[in-house]
Structure 1
Amino acid sequence: MTNHLHKGDLPEGLDLGPVVAVDSETMGLIPYRDPLCLVQLSAGDGDTHLVQLDRNTYDAPRLKALLSDTNTLKIFHFARFDVAAFQQWLGVVTTPVYCTKIASKLCRTYTDRHGLKDVTRELAGVDLSKQQQSSDWGAETLSAAQIEYAASDVLHLHLLREKLNEMLAREGRTALAQACFDFLPIRSALDIAGWPETDIFAHS
């Protein structure tokens, strides 16, 4: 496994294939307030590519092209947040997407533990470390521990998607999951526009 750290953008000519695992690190948990700092990607081959963004310009044309490429499926865990961050800071609508957290909630109804650590432990047999989750991602130089943590969040998403797809099909919820994935860019846009908690579909 090799972690490749890129400054500003993905390198020219990099082909990550038709299905890419994606995650991001920001300065906080409010996508319209807290700057996007790092985007992690993996083709599912054990390698990761981490893009440390220039927060003065967010000029990352190759990364933006990949995120908005309708022929490339992007796998996330809790896509709602990452997609909102990409809309806010990179100005792109990320599509199509697959969210392992939504898939987990639709088929692993025997538990209320749908965090990446829990899902990865059960379905991939891997115990992820979350020690660096709350660290300074805006630092000019990222530590080896930060890079290792950020990479680990995308390394297993391809396998999780495969396992969750099997469970969704078994429970007859594949089409429902896909409809949720298709709606995610809109859900993220609502978050940015000021409706993060309000259920606009509710009667009251």
Structure 2
Amino acid sequence: MSEETILREQICSMARSIFERGLTGGASGNISTRLSDGRLLVTPTGSSLGALDPARLSLFDEKGNHIGGDAPTKEMPLHSAFYETRGAKTGAIVHLHSCHSVALSMLPDTDPDNVLPPLTPYSIMRLGKVKLLPYFRPGDAAIGEAIRGLAGKRSAVLLANHGPVVAAKDLEAAVYSMEELEETARLALLTRGMSPRLLTPEQVRDVVDHFNVEWD
């Protein structure tokens, strides 16, 4: 079985799992993954992550030209920006409209430089710091420019009033990191106003150093 066939099946399988567990609904959310030759497989526009057809995924060549499959998600600017700025560190990107993450993006006291409080070591290990970006109309090329402005220093961002985007080395890692983001956002909302016991700066630094986490 070819690499492309395997990745087509993997995108659809993981997307269905994301949808069935309520991490994104309707026709929202999009996924891309990069093949070893630089081509991209991308979920089509207007498609439900719960009902993707492997044969109809959008295919781009290594220069960013759409060469096969259905029309791609309108969020290609954010996908392209992550691949360009993160380079070899990024092999897949997941963007969802997950409820708790979106809720956290709308609260006025959410830290724009790092939206997730240090509640557990796992969000730090998988995500580093998650940057809150301003609101942009969905599909706006300005989203891509905002991501380029981070110069590849963040693997995850939260789009205000919209949803999270996570880049990782491969599709499995991107999905797991996205799940961690949503679960930590849920924990943050559940414990808001209750003075939860956070990890200390020393504990955070220990996790960052031990797991070689990007933390600039």
Would the TM-score normalized by the shorter structure come out above 0.5? Answer: no
TM normalised by structure 2 equals 0.29
Q: Point out which structure has higher relative CO (alpha carbons under 8 A, 6+ apart).
A: 1
